[in-house]
Amino acid sequence: MRPAMIGSALALALACGGAQAGAAEARQQADAMAAMHHDDAPVPSPAAQTPPGAPVEGREVTYGAAKGQALKGYFTRPAEAAEGLPGVIVFHEWWGLNDNIRAMADRLAAQGYLVLAADLYGGRQAEKPDQAQALMQQALADGPAIDANIEAAYGWLKDQAKAGRIGTLGWCFGGSISFEAGQELSGRTAATVIYYGFVNDQADALAKLKAPVLGLFGGQDGGIPVATVQGFYDALVAQMKKGGPAKARYDLLKPAVEKAFDLPGMTAVAVGTGWTGLSDADKKALTDAFGRMTVANYVKNFDSFSGEKFTVEPASVARPPSTDKLVKSTLKSGSDTIPFNYRMHDVGGAWKIEDIYLNGNISQMAQRRSDFSATFAASGAAGLTKKINALADQMLA
C-alpha cells in the first residue's frame, strides 16, 4: 500500500468533518465541527484541482444496498488497468461525495490503485456548513448503516473490481470512518489512513486494528479538544435533568468522566513527588478513589436542572512551549456567568482534561495537591486513599 505517498497536500485540500460515533455523541461532534467551520464552503483549493499524474478511467457505480436503498459511489482506476491492483476505499469529508472527492480519487488511481469513493449521505451533498452539519449528524447517528456501507464497499472492490490488497483513507469525517473501517474490516485490510478526525481511544476498539495505521493530525487543530469538553458537558446536563438518587446519577456520569478526564495523570499530580515510588497496586487504588471523588463532586454540585447552560468556545488555545491546549467555557446559571477553563493534553491520541481552572484561573489540581500533601506525608498511600474515598462518601450521602 502507498496511500501516504500522495503527501500532505491532500490533507490540506479538503474542508474538515466529524467522526464515527454512537447516537449520543453525534450531535456534540457535529456541533463542534460546525463551530470550527461556520465560514467554510466546499470550494476546492489549488491542491484539489491538480490533475491526475497519469490517465485514469472513472465512472459512477452501485456497490451495494443498505436498508433498501442503493449505495452509489465513484470508481476510478488507471487506464487499461489489470486485475489484482491494490485497492483503496475513500471516505468523503462532511460536504459529501462531491467533485473534490472524485478529484482526489482520480489522483490516487493515477498512482496505480483501484479506488472506490463511498457515499455515506445517500447521494446528498452540502453547500453550506449547516447542511453539512445536519447530514453528518444523521449519518453518525446510525452506526449499523455506516458499517453496512463499509462492508458493501469492501465487498464490491474485492469481488467486482478484483482488487488485491485493500486499504481505507478518509478526511476528517471520512478519517473517522476510515478508522471505523479498520475495525469493521479487522484482519481484511492492508492499511488504514486517517487525515484528521475523531478516533476512539478505547482498548477494545484499538485491539481490532490489525493493519498498519497512519494518522495525520494538525497540531493547531482546536476542534477535537473542544469536543471532549462538550461531550462531558452533555453528559453532565443529562444527569442534572435526570435528577433523583445520587447513586443513579453517579452511574450515568461516571463513563463520561472516565472518557474526558486523565484520571491517572491528575491523581499523580495531586499526590506529588511521592507518586513515582508507589507500587502499581497503590497507584490503582489512589486513581480509583480520585476518579470516584471526581464523579461524586459533580453529582453533588450539579444535582438538578434549572435551565443552566454550558457554552464552549469553538476553538482551543495553544499553550506554548508545551503541546497542551486550553479550552474555555462558561456556565450560565440564572443571572450568573461563571468561567470554567480546561487544560487538555494528548493521552495516547485522545485529548483529555488534566486540570480545571475554576473561575477561569484557579487551578483545581493545585488545590488538590495542597489538600492531600499532609495526609500523604503522614499516612502514605493507604491513608490518602481512605481520605479520598471518605470525601466521595460524604458527597454521595
* Maximum distance among all Cα pairs of the chain, rounded to whole angstroms: 78
Note the pLDDT of residue 49.
Answer: 79
Write a three-state SS string for 45-67: CCHHHCCCCCCEEEEEEEEEEEC
Q: Are strands 191-195 and 213-216 parallel, antiparallel or unpaired?
A: parallel
- The amino acid present at 72, given as its one-letter code, is K
Please, what's the b/e burial string for 98-123 (b: 16 or more CB within 10 A of its CB; e: otherwise)? bebbbbbbbbbbbbebbbbbbbbbbe
Note the pLDDT of residue 15.
Answer: 34
Peptide bond into 255 cis (omega under 30): no
Separation between Cα atoms, residue 33 and residue 132, nearest integer Å: 10
Q: Are strands 317-318 and 325-333 parallel, antiparallel or unpaired?
A: antiparallel
One digit per residue, the tens of pLDDT, for the chain of length 397 reads 222 323 222 222 333 433 344 444 555 555 556 655 666 777 776 766 788 889 999 999 999 998 889 999 999 999 987 788 999 999 999 899 999 999 999 999 999 999 999 999 999 999 988 888 889 888 988 889 999 999 999 999 999 999 999 999 999 889 889 989 999 999 999 999 988 776 665 667 777 888 888 877 665 555 566 777 888 888 888 889 988 999 999 999 999 999 999 999 999 999 998 999 999 999 999 999 999 999 999 999 999 999 999 988 877 777 777 788 889 999 998 898 999 999 998 887 778 999 999 887 889 999 899 999 999 999 999 999 999 999 999 999 8
Domains of the chain: 3-218 (3.40.50.1820), 224-396 (3.10.450.710)
Separation between Cα atoms, residue 147 and residue 168, nearest integer Å: 13
Note the pLDDT of residue 222.
Answer: 54
**Tens digit of each residue's pLDDT (9 = 90 or more) over 181-204:** 999 999 999 999 988 776 665 667
pTM of the model: 0.59
Separation between Cα atoms, residue 126 and residue 167, nearest integer Å: 27
Separation between Cα atoms, residue 33 and residue 93, nearest integer Å: 11
Separation between Cα atoms, residue 278 and residue 175, nearest integer Å: 40
**Tens digit of each residue's pLDDT (9 = 90 or more) over 327-350:** 999 999 889 899 999 999 888 777
